[in-house]
Amino acid sequence: MSVLNCFVKLFCKLLDIIAFVYGNLRFPSRKNQLPAVENNVLLMSAVEIAQKIKERKLKAVDVVKAYLKRIEQVNPIINAVIKSREEAIREAEQIDEKLEHDWESVGHLPLLGVPFTAKDTVSVEGMPLCAGLVSRKEEVASEDASVVTNLRRAGAIPIAITNVPELTRCLDASNCAFGRTNNPYDLSLTCGGSSGGEGAILSSAGSIIGVGTDIGGSIRLPAYFCGVFGHKITSGVVSNNGIIPTIEAEIAPMFTAGPMSRYASDLKLMLKAMAGDQIERLPKIDSAVDLSKLRIFYMLESGSPWSSPVPVQNKEAILKVVSHFEQTYKVKCTKVDVKKVSDALSMWTAAMTKETPMSVFMANNQGEVNLFLEVIRKLFGRSSHTIAAIAWAIDQKIYSLFPNQVESKLREIKQLKQELNELLGNDGIFLYPCFPDINVKHDTSILFWRNIGYTTVFNITNLPVTQCPLGLNKNGLPLGVQVAANELNDHITLAVAQEIEKVFGGWIPPFPIKRD
């Protein structure tokens, strides 16, 4: 190991220690805070709910009311929802009326009567569209985003908008407009970002399926931290119309909306609904997957000196997945060392210099925020922006001053993508940690930003990837793994996710259950 790498590791160890000491002193653990679930409807999958509504065994209005009531129960504790939709009750009543008098008009819809939530960057007509910006706090969407339109056409009903970090650029769903969202398993911990409100409300049984977006791990990180499933789709399959901030065409392939859910079985159904007619871009989405014919590759750490160590329990959980496929399906599982993944964060940062400057987004596209003055304001408590947003804007400015370095990293992205494409082919999957550790206290996430290379590697290479829960660690916090495949092979990662759920239990409720 080089002297420089040794220095970097020591520096990062110091950051980890600072985060541990400050976090534990400032935010003592607060577990087991959520009220019990007593309504069985809140524990059903979207597939089951839709089927029971079609069969008239459940009323859509009762399902929607159950979820709105659950939001009222848990939101004062986790602060995941910024606004609920009372209109959803009337929309559910209309579905019940049609089922009674004109079943054929709606009975074929795959998500009939299923409630869903969407993050506060996805337009839902008449609902907040703020992206966590104070200057947009009163903004409401004038129309639905394309993904919302498609979900409605599939019979789903939007019931709430969920919290995000300011302009989605943070590991923690915290902003100066709506406050901070807590992790359902331990209120002292981050819920992840940027779809953090989605992850938290799903895990708390306040929603059954949710719309997230992902440009650097924003679906998978909160899915990991909150113990649920999240899927980053092959880009170009789901429309980005009606989602803010607007993504520049040059980096659009790194960004996609995608499904989040408590149950793996709901991911494909939701993906197909979100895509609408564009699902034809995934011609193999309904193809059967023979798990015994897969080739499995895995890594347990990124190899980057900047990253925190992956805890032994996290590695052991991934190795259990490897062992399961080896023993049950006689699949060849190969531990690999793809060197370039260690530099995924700097590659992603270089690509993100092609984005509209964060300082422009912070000004709500009305000019540009003076970052020097904003730092001064923040020091005196006068800024309406978060430290994370300011820091990202400064980092982006600094990185853009080195165009040769940016171009070099962009070339490396192409090399890494080619290497992974050749490795995986059309029958390979790649198992990889999502993040070194879930134990990230509030107000410390900026110190752990260096670890998001674990997720950004799949954005820069445009690989579909599913984040899967793998039970809880000894402290009762979620474990997980990312399952990636080559472009257009989303069906493979989704099939593997269902197998992992079946064997390892999937989502484990962070609250007691009292059955009816």
Give Rg (Cα) of the chain: 22
Neighbours of 419 (CB within 10 A): 15
List, in order, residues 6 or more apart from 450 with CB less than 8 Å away.
12, 15, 306, 307, 308, 345
Neighbours of 241 (CB within 10 A): 14
Handedness of CA 34, 39, 44, 47 (dihedral sign): negative
List, in order, residues 6 or more apart from 245 with CB less than 8 Å away.
121, 131, 167, 168, 356, 361
DSSP 276: G
Is 194 marked active-site?
A: yes
**Per annotation, catalytic residue among 54, 119, 232, 409:** 119
Q: How far is CA 380 from CA 41, 186, 363, 376, 383, in A?
A: 48, 31, 20, 7, 8
Is-contact 196 190, C-beta < 8 A?
Answer: yes
Q: Letter for the amino acid at 101? A: H
Is 397 marked active-site?
A: no
Six token digits for residue 158: 């939007």
Classify strands 81-84 and 157-162 as parallel, antiparallel or unpaired: antiparallel
**Per annotation, catalytic residue among 84, 146, 194, 204:** 194
List, in order, residues 6 or more apart from 337 with CB less than 8 Å away.
299, 303
Classify strands 295-298 and 428-432 as parallel, antiparallel or unpaired: parallel
CA dist 215 and 121 (Å) reads 13
DSSP 225-258: HTT-EEEEPPTTSS--TTBSSPPPGGGGGG-EEE
Is 207 marked active-site?
A: no
Is-contact 482 467, C-beta < 8 A?
Answer: yes
Whole-angstrom distance between the N-terminal and C-terminal Cα of the chain? 59
Neighbours of 56 (CB within 10 A): 12
Omega of the bond prior to 261 within 30 degrees of 0, cis?
Answer: no
Q: How far is CA 488 from CA 136, 241, 280, in A?
A: 36, 21, 11
Would you give the distance in Å from CA 511 to the centre of its chain? 21
Q: State which H helix or E strand residue 511 sits in.
A: none
DSSP 201: H
Give the strand order in the sheet containing 209-214: 81-84, 157-162, 115-119, 209-214, 256-261, 229-232, 465-472, 478-484, 428-432, 295-298, 333-335
CA dist 334 and 228 (Å) reads 26
Helix residue ranges per DSSP H, 79-121: 87-101, 103-106
Active site residues: 119, 194, 218
